[in-house]
A and B are shown apart, each in its own frame.
Chain A
Amino acid sequence: MRVAARKSLALSLALILLLLLPGCWNYTEVDDMSIVAGVALDKAKDGKLQLTAEMVDIQNGLEQQSQAGFKMISLSGNTIFDIARNMISMTGKKLFWSHAKSIIFSEELAREGLIPYIDWYSRDTETRSDVFIFVSEEKNARDVLNLNSTTESVMSFELAQLMRDEKFVAGAPVVEIWDFIDKLEVSGQSAVAPLIHVHELNGHKNERVEGTAVFDKDKMVGKLDGKESKAMLFVKNKISEGVLEVEDRTGKPAYSLEILSSRTEVRPVLREGDITIHLSTVTKTGLDEVMNTGGMTQHESLKDIEKRAGEKLRQDMLSVIHKVQREYHADIFGFGAAVHRKMPKQWKQIREHWSDIFTDLEVTVDAKVIIESTAKTSRALKLGD
């Protein structure tokens, strides 16, 4: 009897502990929460923080089966979590952050430093660290999200989709928030984020991701445009697809090379006590467009194009490196990290004043472009007589 009593006591104890210990108390029905798609952070006029959340409107999506609707709310406050909780008083439903895809910071906030605003996002249990981070070139970050009234779709999801396909454009870096935070914490490497702005042509408004925000520590210090961003990605060995534009002999852009694969190696070299960085890029491409009537085979050999493309790539890379070195003093290319990997002993001595060294660092670039194929045809279109 006593054994049985002890057994049942142990069993019930185990069951009760089982209920209490796992901490799975977050029972919620899906229709009782507002699913946050993305968020924009601005500085309000009174100096407070203004948070604009784009939420999926499942009610709306129900009627028009094709697309989910959206709902925007904006609230200002002192801390992000405070705002996030206070938003419940506007939605009536608890905000659910796990499915948020994009976070947009205004340039103003970025220039002040992002650490205070990123902490909650990386600390909270519900938010995810694979959210895409953007810096808005518009006056307010929320203006980008507000575009959803024109595009009739959930802007944050559209931005996430855009980032997934950004590799075909290679005009901006693709940065998830964990990556951004990682770069902030690692020495010898500075963070970047893609820039986003509202593109307007003939009255059509669209979001457009182009260019790079360069950070020194957590403060934004400058911008690179789309072309410079591509060169930067070449330096960082982050190019997998994209297009290389090449001019013909007369200096007119005439050829498009589709990048099939690209590889950049960073080699720090110690020369007479000074560190120099040597970059070598090998890009395999396919010739995909010829914009002159003469055809490439008559005037130029593929070798010429390859040579010219390689030279242009080399110059682009060098110019962006020099620009960042001179203007921003932020090692966004990770040269410091490369030195750290290759020469850990030297790195210990120079890590304290790496940003000074980086500014005067000598960099040599060796770029090689290989045309592997000419797509479907080996000749250019010719005019008949």
Chain B
Amino acid sequence: MKNPDAADSQSKTADETSSLPLSASLEETAARFRRIFNNDGTLRIRVIENTLDSRIRCALIYVDGMTDRELIQNGITQPVMQFDFALEDSFEPAELMERIRKQVIHISDITVSAQFDEMIDAVVGGMTVFILDGYAGALSINAQGWETRSIEEPATEKAVRGPREGFNESLLTNLTLIRRRVLNPDLKFVFSVIGSRSRTQVCICYMESLASPDILRELQDRLAKVEIDHVLDTGYLAELIRDEPYSPFEMIGSTERPDALVSKLMEGRVALLIEGSPFALTVPYVFVENFQASEDYYINYTFATFNRLLRVLGAFLSISIPAAYVALVTYSQEMVPTLLLLSIASARLSVPFPTVIEAILMLTIFEILREAGARIPNSIGQAVSIVGALVLGQAAVDARIVSAPMVIVVGLTGITTLLNPRLSGPLIVVRAALLVCAFFLGIYGYFFGLLGLVIHLMSLRSFGVSYMLGVGSIRPQDIKDTAIRAPWWDMYLRPAFIGARNMRRKPAGKRGKR
């Protein structure tokens, strides 16, 4: 373990040196860089001289691996070395620097910097700093180049129909993917930096004419208040800036799909992307978004509606099945159809545990298998399913450790949970809570738990917007994109309270063919 104080003192000395004015001497500047990047083997300081005039001595300072070597060689090193400056005996270094910037270097993105700390930031960020002996200033040349993952179909949000591009870890690439879908200067990208040590680039993205200024300001305020030393994924920020920090439900949306992100922007939402994470955040987030898949908007609305209703039913079943089963079998046996009760009773015979213990046992085993399946390499994934299905399912029933109906209950629960990958976390928590309620109070407890869940959901707010927006509304426009998906020609308004700044999406009821 490193001593945190030592790290602090080190950065302090760096700050002291960087605040000094820039020296005109190339050697001195290079030495300062070496001191600051002490013990960093990736720093490169390349001193070059013009082949025709050896008075022109320059140095390139960059971090290896963050730069495009070929670009540096062809765009900077070669032209500077070979350019015929035809200098007189005495020359002004500032003029020379100006000529180099304007006439010699082939790279387009160049900024002039006179501050040492600016130069350090530039080098760390992958820029190439160009200094000229005798001139107290520098050029930051953008010859960045590093490996990124290619643009692939996102694994978490697959779609049979629809765009297959997904975000990757490069912020700029991700912004490009968004920009390509909205060719309109109305789309804004506002950059800032978060993380006192990691200095991660963060970009807030929104449509100026659609996004609510209140929500935008709220997001900026919350981001400004974030105090953290590093940010590796938007998950950090989502947890830091979310409403209702103790609720198991997600209060901020996240997506890996540029098309999904753009559709949120077009509803008036604000997005947040960071360097190094393929997951973009969207605020505000409402409950029905948990059931929405981007594919819903690309396929026929009847089928999309059916799929959504399935997902809602799946979520309901996944929290209800174990609790309802336990309540019915241990309290309200009179509500079970006679023949079903007989088969449950005979299956439960000689099973040693009470029904609720059985349920907890099997649900835990299912979650263990799920977690194991998610963590292990694909090559041994099959082994997990074999162990799960055969050894634990079949054998446990044969050995009368659990009853067969319970395996069905747990299997159904598991499958219905998988219908809603976004909700799987909250569903597990709610399911456990309902199970406990049902165990103590039977059917009454189960319904009491459901009631509590609804009250909790109704009390949630995300960035000032009610979490259950549109749920239970009696206005037809409000429910057109909730548990059902209305046809596009009928969704002429944006969701109320989110796109309030400009509600009208399109002329009402206009179809293409008329």
Contact = CB atoms under 8 A, between A and B. Distances in A.
A30 B336 CA distance: 11
Contacts of B444: 22, 24
A319 interface: no
Interface stretch (A53-61, A213-221, A341-349, A369-377): A53-61
A30 B345 CA distance: 5
Contact of B351 (A19, A27, A31, A101): A31
Interface in A125-164: 126, 128, 157
B346 A24 contact: no
Contacts of B354: 29
Contact of A35 (B345, B440, B445): B345
Interface in A11-47: 18-19, 22, 24, 26-31, 33, 35
B344 A24 contact: no
B152 to A, nearest CB: 50
B346 A58 contact: yes
Interface string B338-357: 10011011111111001100
Contacts of A58: 342, 345-346, 349
Interface string B428-451: 000000000000111111001000
Interface residues of A, number: 25
A132 to B, nearest CB: 13
A35 B333 CA distance: 10
A35 B442 contact: no
Contacts of B348: 29-31
B334 A98 contact: yes
A33 B345 CA distance: 9
Contacts of A62: 346-347, 349
Nearest to A125: B334
B330 interface: yes
A94 to B, nearest CB: 11
A24 B441 contact: yes
A126 B334 CA distance: 8
B346 A35 contact: no
A28 B326 CA distance: 11
B330 A29 contact: yes
B345 A24 contact: no
Contact of A19 (B338, B441, B443): B441
B316 interface: no
Contacts of A26: 331
B14 interface: no
B345 A31 contact: yes
Contact of B355 (A18, A29, A35, A68): A29
Contact of B342 (A28, A61, A128): A61
A277 to B, nearest CB: 41
A61 B445 CA distance: 32
B442 A24 contact: yes
Contact of A30 (B341, B441, B442): B341
Nearest to A160: B338
A347 to B, nearest CB: 39
Interface in A58-77: 58-59, 61-62, 68
A60 to B, nearest CB: 9
B448 to A, nearest CB: 7
B329 interface: yes
A24 B331 contact: yes
A382 B347 CA distance: 58
Contacts of B442: 24, 27
B330 A19 contact: no
B441 A35 contact: no
Contacts of B443: 24
A99 interface: yes
Contacts of A29: 329-330, 348, 354-355
Interface in B443-477: 443-445, 448
B338 A24 contact: no
A96 interface: yes
A154 B464 CA distance: 63
B349 A18 contact: no
Nearest to A157: B338
A28 B441 contact: no
A148 to B, nearest CB: 15
A62 B346 CA distance: 6
Contact of B349 (A19, A35, A59, A101): A59
Nearest to A59: B349
Nearest to B344: A30
Contacts of B350: 31
Given A30-B345, A35-B345, A62-B346, A19 B334 contact: no
B143 to A, nearest CB: 60
A58 B345 CA distance: 7
Nearest to B349: A31
A96 B441 contact: no
Given A58-B342, A62-B349, A99-B338, A22 B441 contact: yes
Contacts of A33: 333
A217 B448 CA distance: 45
Interface string B82-95: 00000000000000
A130 to B, nearest CB: 11
Contact of A18 (B329, B347, B441): B441
22 contacts: A18-B441, A24-B444, A27-B331, A27-B442, A28-B330, A29-B330, A29-B354, A30-B344, A31-B345, A35-B338, A35-B345, A58-B342, A58-B346, A59-B349, A61-B346, A62-B347, A98-B333, A98-B334, A99-B333, A99-B338, A128-B334, A157-B338
Given A30-B330, A126-B334, 5 more contacts: A18-B448, A22-B444, A29-B355, A58-B345, A61-B342
Across chains A and B, which 6 residue pairs bring their CB atoms closest together, nearest first?
A: A98-B334, A58-B346, A30-B345, A31-B348, A24-B442, A62-B346
